[in-house]
Amino acid sequence: MKRILTLAAFSCTVSLTAQEKKPVEIFTSQKVINANTTQTVGKGQMEFKVTHNFGDIAGDFGGIKNFFGLDNNVDVRIAFQTGIGKKFDLTFARSKGASKQQRLWEMGLKYQLMQQLENDASHPLSIALYANAVIASNTATATPNQDHSYKGISQRTSNAFQLILARKMGKISLQLNPTFVTRGYSISYDQKSFFSMGGAIRLPLTHRLNFIMDYFHTFRSKESKDSFRLKENVRFYNPLGVGLEVVTGRHVFHLNFTNTTEIVENRFIPRTVTSWGKGQFRWGFTISRQFTVWKEKKKKPTS
């Protein structure tokens, strides 16, 4: 009887410990709207994702004449994110591109350094690293000093490096995305590298419906801003996205509204020239579907 009680107590202790160490799901998907999250898909899993941005809802290029932007296909990204390890993902993607750099091929890596655990003060938040390389494969122009006047593959390439910090407090999920973008080529009066501070929030409305929002503040030099304003009459704006997330089983659907035309951070961080205040924001959507690619073989019990 004593042994039975001891075993029962031990089982309860193990059960309670397992419950205390339960991982916290801070965000449901690998992206909010424009911002990456700390989530990984899991070893042997693959997430297929399609992201679509339409044209301006209002302003000079929106309104009823363009069916509030739905007549215009601004940018499309198709991505496959695969869990190579339990906390390590590999992404291959192709984007249309919305400006002079187009036909973008992307390879990305995400590694989760820490995951927030329930009732565990030693794991109060989730931390991940993300890095990518993007190559523009459209035809270069012979006109000098254009965004696609590149020569050679190194000038066609850009990179983004991102530290992702996330925490769920009660029902609210919060995140920071400090991001560094560097490019192999830029026009003479532009910067080659940018630092941007991003942030995101998710607020549940119902069991399957969430409000989502993200924002990036890009630090650009005054000289660059003045040059674009004088030479091209172009002003830059910080990317802001708001939307609704619908979770249904292994599908996740996002209805997005954002002032960014381009989807990849290598492009929207240095090249957001459309403003919410001028009606230059757009409908967009993201559809995600997760699949099992392979399953780990169960280890045979040793005798």
pLDDT reading at 66 higher than 90: no
Looking at this protein, which amino acid is placed at residue 85?
G
pLDDT of residue 298: 66
The percent of residues above 90 in pLDDT, for the chain, comes to 79
* C-alpha dihedral sign at 223, 179, 79, 254: negative
19-23, 109-113, 133-137, 269-273: which has the minimum mean pLDDT?
19-23
59-71: average pLDDT? 86
Q: Which residue has the tokens 């339409």?
A: 54
pLDDT reading at 20 higher than 90: no
Question: For 170-224, how does the pLDDT look when each residue is reduced to its tens digit (9 = 90+)?
Answer: 999 999 999 999 999 999 999 999 999 999 999 999 999 999 999 999 999 999 9
Beta bridge partners of 128: 112, 164
Which pLDDT band, with edges at 50, 70 and 90, does 292 fall under?
confident
Instruction: Give the global pTM.
Output: 0.88
Higher pLDDT, 301 or 206: 206
pLDDT of residue 19: 52
Looking at this protein, which amino acid is placed at residue 109?
L
Greatest pairwise CA separation for the chain in angstroms? 88
82-106: average pLDDT? 95
Distance CA 97, CA 35 (A): 17
Which pLDDT band, with edges at 50, 70 and 90, does 14 fall under?
very low
How far is the CA of 202 from the CAs of 84, 125, 128, 209, 303, in angstroms? 27, 15, 18, 10, 49
Secondary structure tally for the chain: helices H, strands E = 4, 12
Query: 259 by DSSP, 3-state: which?
Result: coil
Distance CA 170, CA 193 (A): 37
H-only helix segments in the chain: 2-20, 153-156, 222-231, 265-268
How far is the CA of 165 from the CAs of 83, 128, 136, 142, 216, in angstroms? 20, 7, 29, 43, 14
4-33: average pLDDT? 67
Which pLDDT band, with edges at 50, 70 and 90, does 93 fall under?
very high
How far is the CA of 30 from the CAs of 1, 223, 225, in angstroms? 51, 36, 32
Instruction: Say how many CA atoms lie within 13 Å of 26 toward its Cβ.
Output: 30
Which pLDDT band, with edges at 50, 70 and 90, does 68 fall under?
confident
pLDDT of residue 299: 62
CATH number of 24-292: 2.40.160.40
pLDDT of residue 3: 52
Which pLDDT band, with edges at 50, 70 and 90, does 293 fall under?
confident
pLDDT of residue 17: 47
Higher pLDDT, 35 or 21: 35
